[in-house]
Amino acid sequence: MKALLKRREFSLFIFILFTVFVISLRAPRFLEWSNLYDILNDTAILIMVAIGQFMVITSGNGGIDLSVASGIALTGMIVGMLNQYHPEIPIGVIILIAMFVGLILGSFNGILVAYAGIPPIITTLGTMSIYRGFVFVLSKGEWVSADEMSNSFRHLPHGTPFGVTNIILFAIIVVVLAYIFTTRTKTGREIYGIGGNRTAAQYVGINIRKISFMVYAISGVIVGLAGLLWVSRYASAQNDTAMGFELQTVAACVIGGVAIMGGSGTVPGVVLGAIFLGIINNALPVVNLSPFYQMAIQGFVIIFAIVANTVVGRKTQASLARKAKV
Amino acid sequence: MNELILELRGVSKSFPGIKALDRVDFKIRSGEVHALIGENGAGKSTLVKILTGIYQPDEGEIVLNGKRVEFKNPIVSQEAGIAAIHQEATMFPMLSVVENIYMGHHLKNRFGFVNWKQMRKNTKYLLSRLGLDINPNILVKDLSTAQRHMVEIVKALSLNANIIIMDEPTSAFSMRETEELYKIIRQLREEGKAIIFISHKFEDIYEIADYFTVLRDGRYVGEGVVSETPQDKIINMMVGRSLTQMFPKIDVEIGDVVMEVRNLSLNGLFEDISFELHRGEILGFFGLIGAGRSEVMESIFGIVKPERGSISLGGEEIVINSPDDAIKRGIGYVPEDRQTEGTILSMNIRENVTLPIIDKLSGRGILNRIKENEITNKYGKRMEIKASSWEQLVNNLSGGNQQKVVLAKWLATEPRILILDEPTKGIDVATKSRVHEFISELAAQGLGIILVSSEIPEILGMSDNIVVMHEGRITARFKREEASSEDLLKAAMGTSLERAI
């Protein structure tokens, strides 16, 4: 219990409950289950992609993947057009193709960062433009609209064969796998190793290049899946799909307590960070705020959440340190 | 027992521009503590990195238990039973003790997942075997330097290492911690492990080492049994000449009071610190690690605000709110950790030297490069910084030269008071002696100097007056001629010798 209270995830969880409570004072229907369920559906993609982002950031050395939104748009356009011209391809195969496309995009980042030694922010800023550019090249500026998609394609995110929508199911699978990977596998723990202290990681014989390549590849696979879910959920593949989404994923990580310098962070933290953002995105229209203010307010809330979280974290630490001395 | 387990024969290693190791021979026997001695830049660290598979030798061979081996990477060396506790921080501060021990070789259960339970159990066992009271689940960032070092030793044991390399282990240890380390080393020696011990401190070497090998400028100079070799002889081997004058203290007439500190206190860190500093005086501050000396200096320099007490400069009581204030008032502060606090490694020598006085060198907001170069040249030459040019990055300088850059930087501010916190820590004997000479010369020019040091010979050799601190309080004051090592240590360990003033 004591250990739980110390955890940063716990303070964030309380903060989320508090935020929800405040919002519900102004808009009681916010608390209705159907609304909360909608929020989860809206946030599922953010949760997934933020988890990929979390692994990249945690691997350290300036790790960041700014190409995730462009990757979503590109995979989305590829599978959208594939479905448009070959509606006979089963959705299961489409899922695999999407993940494979994502893997290629992520691996390209990984090669540039891990093997060519180009700083992650430069690499992924570059591929952010490249991948976005390919969307235009491929689509020639056209959209793939709902009536050009097959039913099975459009229904993929909304189907509920396992009790929850598939999109939430996918998010749960990604979260569970990532949690096991980052807490219970040697390779997963080595991400923290190279992010926490590269020299030390080298000295204990960790293959730094392999691990840093891998995190970008994993982020890519998740991006591929997210690209498919995004265009099928909104039933349109556009050139500006997911524009600006990469910053949301970074924000979710930071709110969730992921150290931007690497080496520290948890899957539950990231999930909570993403859910917090989802709540804010959903709540601002509900409380009747002018849409003109929404973006700015969203920014303020993010900064406030991060500051609050950091201060609480520091205070807990200070009090622990004091106790340790006595 | 005591049979040869590892031998280096004629090992060389070059880097662009320098031959770090030149046909070096080195032998280690089991159950032996082997001191590897040499000045900075003698090639000790390179040798360690070859033994641990981080570097590969250009020529020569490594023979392990009679067989020729190649340490292609750190894993091969680890598997051969060699573990090193490096000088640089090689820990994962944000991870637990358990994980620091097992990083890179996590234990797995039969499903291939990380076996946390077993790892925790083993860690507890290893910690208790060494008699250490450390919680295996605590994050390493919350441990003291000494505790971290112990965790590194546990890590070596978890790897079943037979050869354990310790690179300057005691440099940041208190006396008690050093004792604890000695105890552990003795225990490991009993168990037949070989320990390669690198240290700049002769106390360590004579206390714990059985055998020694000396390197100089990348070459093997000699070896011998520690107990049969006097210190002079080892120093001679290290520097190739005997250092006659280790502490070139010049007799200086002590002048007026330049700074008076009264009852300075900061909750929990230090209490009622009072002292006077005069022109031309070197005031030594002795104490063990954690005695609060650095904290006192930081509050005088305006980095942290004291809660109570006063500071007067030249008779006028002042408040120092920031380091900028302190610099303007003529106080210079050379912090202990030159890597993180003293220099900006990614800048060149010129930029480092002129950093604190950049305001003065700028007319209407534009930096005067000619003046900047003049100043750098003046103080760089005076400190005898060895570099290809003043444009060389500080990162590429040796530890001793980095320290000279820090000193040049503070001299350029033309201070009246200079605070030096462990100015010779971790630098080689020759540079150390040079630094001592400068300190002495500065005092002769009328500066008031506060010398914080944990080395008794340095304190005794350099100071006019000595203040000893223990757990945040002053426990004794000595005049130069009254002080003895025994009294200093007693006071530092908490016996109050403070007489009523």
State the pLDDT at residue B43: 85
Note whether A203 contacts B54, CB cutoff 8 Å: yes
Of A193, A200, A205, A190, which Cα lies nearest the Cα of B88? Answer: A200
Pick the CATH number of B252-330+415-501 from 3.40.50.300, 3.30.429.10, 1.10.10.350, 3.40.50.1980: 3.40.50.300
Quote the CA–CA distance of B485 and B472 in Å, as a whole number. 20
Integer angstrom CA distances of residue B41 from A94, A227, B232, B374: 61, 55, 20, 30
- Interface mutation target, options A7, A177, A184, A264, chain B, most CBs of B under 10 Å: A184
Q: Which residues of A touch B52 (CB under 8 A)?
A: 203
Q: Tell the CATH topology of B4-239.
A: Rossmann fold (3.40.50)
Consecutive H or E run containing B133: none
Which residues, in sequence order, are bridge partners of residue B311? B261, B318
Residue indicated by tokens 């104490």 = B287
Name the strand (E) or helix (H) holding B224.
Answer: strand B219-225
Residue A100: predicted pLDDT: 98
Query: Is residue B245 predicted with pLDDT exceeding 90?
Result: no
pTM passes above 0.95: no
In terms of Cα–Cα distance, which of B144, B200, B146 is closest to B173? B146
Give the separation between CA B9 and CA B24, rounded to whole angstroms: 7
Chain B residues closer than 8 Å to A199 by CB: 88-90
**Tens digit of each residue's pLDDT (9 = 90 or more) over A285-323:** 877 777 788 788 878 877 887 787 667 656 655 554 444
Instruction: Tell me, letter by letter, the H, E, C secondary structure of B253-319.
Output: CCCCEEEEEEEEEECCCEEEEEEEEECCCEEEEECCCCCCHHHHHHHHCCCCCCCEEEEEECCEEEC
C-alpha Rg value of chain B to the nearest Å: 24
- Cβ contact A196–B93 (<8 Å): yes
Determine the pLDDT at residue A323: 47
Look at residue A254 and tell me whether its pLDDT is greater than 80. yes
**Which domains occur in chain A, in start order?**
37-311 (1.10.3470)
Q: What are phi and psi of B195, to 5 degrees?
A: -125, 125
Structure confidence by residue, pLDDT tens digits, A203-225? 888 999 999 999 999 999 999 99
CA-nearest of A155, A310, A307 to A235 is A155
Separation between Cα atoms, residue A203 and residue B71, nearest integer Å: 13
HEC string of chain A?
CHHHHHCHHHHHHHHHHHHHHHHHHHCHHHHCHHHHHHHHHHHHHHHHHHHHHHHHHHCCCCCCCCCHHHHHHHHHHHHHHHHHHCCCCCHHHHHHHHHHHHHHHHHHHHHHHHHCCCCHHHHHHHHHHHHHHHHHHHHCCCCECHHHCCHHHHHCCCCCCCCCCHHHHHHHHHHHHHHHHHHHCHHHHHHHHHHHCHHHHHHCCCCHHHHHHHHHHHHHHHHHHHHHHHHHHCCCECCCCCCCHHHHHHHHHHHCCCCCCCCCCCHHHHHHHHHHHHHHHHHHHHCCCCHHHHHHHHHHHHHHHHHHHHHHHHHHHHHHHHHHHC
Q: List chain A residues with CB under 8 Å of B74.
A: 202-205
| Per-residue pLDDT tens over the stretch A114-131 | 999 999 999 999 999 999
What's the mean per-residue pLDDT of chain A? 90
Q: Do domains B4-239 and B252-330+415-501 have the same CATH topology?
A: yes
Domain ranges of chain B: 4-239, 252-330+415-501, 345-414
pLDDT tens profile B320-370: 999 888 988 999 888 877 666 667 777 888 888 888 888 778 877 788 888
Residues 6+ apart with CB under 8 A from A153: A83, A87, A91, A94, A232
Q: Say whether pLDDT at B499 is over 60.
A: no
pLDDT band at A153 (very low <50, low <70, confident <90, very high): very high
Between B329 and B172, the more confident residue is B329
- Residue in chain A closest to B135 (alpha carbons) equals A324
Mark yes or no for CB contact B91/A321 under 8 Å: no
Q: Do strands B417-421 and B473-479 pair parallel, antiparallel, or not at all (unpaired)?
A: unpaired
Nearest-Cα distance to chain B for A190, in Å, is 7
- Give the bridge partners for B69, in sequence order: B62
Cα B136 from Cα B122, distance rounded (Å): 10
Dist CA A37 CA A236 (whole Å):
23
